């Protein structure tokens, strides 16, 4: 009975719900009628004039610092102009481009123009005939087409109607970049970086004249110390079209920069950072109406190097000053010194504290695009060539410690044995010591310590001949000579160890006793890099325990975490590959090491030592060895100056290697080493008095 009484209430609620649904439907129909019929044209027009597109928030590149946190490469926030594609026709686009470029030129702003055509007079900027031919083929131009023909072709192609050649060329330059690099309504093309506030204000205030133009904030790479450590740091450059095709899957954009050389290149993965995104509301003519951040950018990791910026500064100056001093006769006889390198390394952990290569260059010039004239100037003097890791040099007499350790360890020469320098050596091509060649005098009987002190060639001819070239090379490789060190820089050279097989293969010449004699004093075909030489000396002072050079102290992410050493090593090996060091472990006797190091001490600390006059006023003892290596450069005979050393003598902390191309005598290279060592140990350099009265000499003649 109760069920039947509730039925009328149920029907009432159902009817009420039906009425409400009908009312809502009528309202929706009326609103739809209003949107589509009454105000449809108005809303369609408004919709067509509003676009939404995504803009990139560029990540700041990671900093590069020295071991104490001093900035070597950093970023500076600036403004960049980027252009998006709009629905405008060619005539409107050309006017917009001309408006943009006129503002930039009025404010003396640099902008990117890659079209290889000049006007007044007409000429191509591509000087290589093969590349020019390929370029013409790409754009379906005849092989004999002139620069004027090409200009007219592009003028017609881009529908540039102005008769003003200068204006036409400006428009053409950016249209050409659009053709080669591409852009769209969602992907911009970069026009100019590092805009002045004046340009930014003009572009913002007169937005309607620059349809599709967007001003974005971008962190620009800055090298605050000019040329300092340029070969270590390297430089960055804008990504090109081919690279973009390969790198876009890794998050790169057509407007991005990437490392080109040095650690900027090798550690690009860590330095790059992660871009963010911003949503832009724009009208159909390209004017920005609103914007908001969708995803924040993440700055790249900080790369901490092992070098000391102050020591690096002094090292580069010492190298430059010594080269100039040698050329000007400041140390005695003039020699045509042209270039050189210095490497300073912590002998305990292998950290490179300073690495200089001269000539050097200005990394900052590449950030916005280096001028061709300046680039050609750098190319002419090999300024991009890192001589510290790529330059192969005959070591000269700095190799004599290696010959000595081989002969001693293999039992071919005794610690107290004296070998008599009697004039011309009786075997091979009968070479004589440098002293005999200069004065017809000899050193007489010498033990190994005195032979190193006086750099007696005769002693090492005999030691090398007894040991044999196979054993000499075996020990050379163990000490890191002729083997890549694995330093975290691109383009490291493995160098060359003189050996019979290579001589026969390259020259068709049979190895003879004379070749062994030359190799024993660091001449002949030996070619080693300064970084290998400093590893060799470090291994020597460590009692034969090898240690590998490194220039990376750590990598710190934006969140403060440190990348593990294992990951850094794996990353480096993946890109550079491993070293070619397959040498066996040699157990070097400490007694042999000691007599050799004593000889190196006498070189700098005792009268008669080949570098005594350079270091005699030091307030502590160091070990060193001079070397003068005859070579040919551009078919002209010249002598490179070499010096290797360590300090202090009793408790070695650092090793140093210096090479100066055309430096004449190893003693002169020691002057550069002296200034660097003095800086490292905080000595007052003004108290070091130079003695230039000692007679210059060349330590060997072959």
SS3 state of residue 192: strand
d(CA 673, CA 692): 16
List of residues 6+ apart from 601 with CB closer than 8 A:
621, 622, 623, 649
Q: Give me Rg for the CA atoms of the chain.
A: 35
Full-model pTM: 0.83
Cβ atoms of 94 and 101 closer than 8 Å: no
Residue 274 β-bridge partners: 298
pLDDT of residue 250: 85
| Cβ pair 550, 487 in contact under 8 A | yes
116 CB-contact burial (10 Å; exposed 0-12 / middle 13-18 / buried 19+): middle
Q: What is the pLDDT of residue 51?
A: 59
Chain centroid to Cα 35, Å, comes to: 63
Extract long-range pairs of 199-204: CB within 8 Å, 24+ residues apart: 199/79, 199/81, 199/103, 199/104, 199/107, 199/109, 200/79, 202/103, 202/107, 203/81, 203/100, 203/103
Report the pLDDT value the prediction gives residue 631, as an integer from 0 to 100: 86
The per-residue b/e assignment along 373-400, b for 16 or more CB within 10 angstroms, e otherwise, is eebeebeeeebbbbbbbbbbbbbbbbbb
Q: What is the pLDDT of residue 693?
A: 45
483 sits in which H/E element: none
Structural tokens at position 672: 């550069």
Answer for the pair 228, 313: CB distance below 8 angstroms, yes or no.
yes
Residues paired with residue 629 on neighbouring β-strands, in sequence order? 640
Instruction: Taking each helix axis as running N to C, give the angle between helix 590-605 and helix 530-541, from 0 to 180 degrees, rounded to the nearest 10.
Output: 120
Cβ–Cβ under 8 Å, residues 291 and 281 = yes
The closest alpha carbon to 475, from 529, 519, 419, belongs to 519
What beta strand segments (E) does 435-551 contain? 444-446
Contact of 563 with 301, CB cutoff 8 Å:
yes
What pLDDT is recorded for position 645?
98
Residue 279 phi, psi (nearest 5) = -90, 130
CA atoms in the 13 A half-sphere facing the CB of 97: 31
Which residues of the chain carry a pLDDT beneath 70? 1-10, 33-53, 280-292, 684-702
Which burial class, exposed, middle or buried, applies to 510 when counting CB atoms under 10 A from its CB (0-12, 13-18, 19+)?
Answer: exposed
Task: Count the neighbouring beta carbons within 10 Å of the beta carbon of residue 67.
Answer: 16
């Amino acid at each position: 009975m109760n069920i039947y009484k509730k039925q009328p209430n149920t029907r009432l609620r159902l009817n009420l719900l039906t009425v409400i649904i009908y009312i809502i439907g009528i309202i929706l129909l009326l609103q739809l009628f209003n949107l589509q019929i009454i105000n449809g044209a108005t809303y369609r027009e408004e919709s067509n004039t509003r676009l939404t597109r995504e803009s990139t928030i560029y990540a700041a590149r990671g900093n590069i610092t020295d071991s104490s946190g001093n900035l070597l490469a950093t970023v500076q926030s600036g403004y960049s102009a980027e252009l998006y594609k709009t629905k405008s026709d060619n005539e409107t686009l050309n006017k917009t481009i001309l408006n943009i470029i006129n503002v930039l030129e009025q404010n003396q702003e640099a902008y990117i123009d890659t079209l290889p055509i000049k006007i007044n007079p007409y000429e191509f900027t591509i000087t290589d005939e093969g590349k020019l031919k390929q370029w013409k083929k790409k754009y379906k131009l005849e092989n004999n087409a002139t620069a004027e023909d090409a200009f007219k072709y592009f003028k017609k192609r881009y529908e540039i109607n102005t008769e003003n050649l200068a204006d036409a060329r400006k428009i053409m330059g950016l249209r050409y970049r659009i053709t080669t690099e591409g852009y769209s309504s969602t992907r911009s093309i970069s026009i100019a970086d590092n805009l002045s506030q004046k340009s930014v204000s003009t572009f913002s205030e007169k937005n309607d004249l620059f349809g599709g133009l967007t001003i974005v904030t971008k962190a620009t790479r800055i090298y605050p110390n000019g040329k300092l450590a340029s070969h270590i740091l390297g430089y960055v450059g804008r990504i090109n079209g081919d690279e973009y095709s390969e790198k876009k899957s890794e998050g790169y954009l057509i407007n991005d920069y990437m490392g080109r050389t040095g650690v900027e290149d090798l550690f690009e993965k860590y330095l790059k950072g992660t871009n963010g995104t911003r949503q832009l509301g724009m009208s159909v003519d390209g004017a920005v109406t609103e914007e908001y951040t969708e995803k924040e950018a993440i700055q790249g990791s900080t790369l901490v190097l092992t070098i000391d910026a102050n020591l690096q500064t002094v090292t580069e100056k010492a190298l430059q000053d010594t080269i100039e001093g040698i050329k000007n006769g400041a140390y005695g006889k003039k020699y045509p010194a042209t270039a050189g390198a210095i490497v300073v390394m912590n002998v305990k952990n292998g950290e490179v504290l300073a690495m200089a290569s001269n000539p050097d260059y200005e990394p900052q010039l590449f950030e916005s695009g280096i001028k061709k004239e300046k680039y050609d100037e750098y190319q002419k003097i090999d300024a991009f060539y890192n001589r510290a890791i790529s330059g192969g040099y005959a070591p000269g007499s700095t190799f004599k410690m290696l010959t000595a350790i081989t002969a001693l360890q293999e039992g071919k020469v005794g610690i107290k044995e004296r070998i008599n320098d009697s004039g011309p050596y009786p075997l091979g091509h009968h070479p004589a010591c440098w002293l005999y060649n200069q004065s017809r005098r000899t050193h007489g009987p010498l033990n190994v310590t005195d032979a190193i002190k006086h750099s007696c060639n005769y002693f090492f001819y005999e030691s090398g001949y007894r040991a044999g070239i196979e054993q000499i090379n075996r020990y050379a490789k163990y000490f890191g000579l002729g083997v890549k060190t694995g330093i975290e820089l691109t383009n490291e050279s493995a160098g060359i160890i003189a050996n019979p097989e290579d001589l026969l293969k390259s020259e068709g010449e049979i190895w003879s006793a004379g070749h062994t004699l030359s190799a024993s004093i660091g001449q002949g075909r030996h070619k080693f890099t300064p970084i290998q030489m400093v590893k060799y000396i470090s291994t020597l002072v460590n009692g034969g325990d090898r240690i590998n050079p490194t220039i990376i102290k750590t990598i710190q992410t934006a969140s403060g975490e440190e990348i593990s050493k294992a990951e850094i090593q794996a990353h480096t090996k993946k890109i550079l590959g491993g070293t070619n060091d397959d040498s066996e472990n040699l157990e070097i006797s400490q007694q042999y090491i000691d007599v050799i190091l004593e000889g190196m001490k006498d070189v700098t600390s005792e009268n008669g030592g080949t570098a005594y006059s350079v270091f005699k006023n030091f307030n502590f003892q160091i070990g060193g060895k001079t070397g003068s290596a005859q070579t040919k450069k551009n078919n002209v005979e010249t002598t490179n100056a070499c010096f290797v050393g360590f300090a202090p003598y009793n408790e070695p902390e650092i090793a140093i290697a210096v090479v100066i191309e055309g430096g004449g005598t190893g003693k002169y290279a020691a002057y550069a080493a002296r200034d660097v060592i003095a800086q490292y140990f905080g000595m007052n350099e003004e108290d070091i008095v130079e003695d230039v009265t000692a007679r210059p000499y060349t330590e060997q003649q072959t």
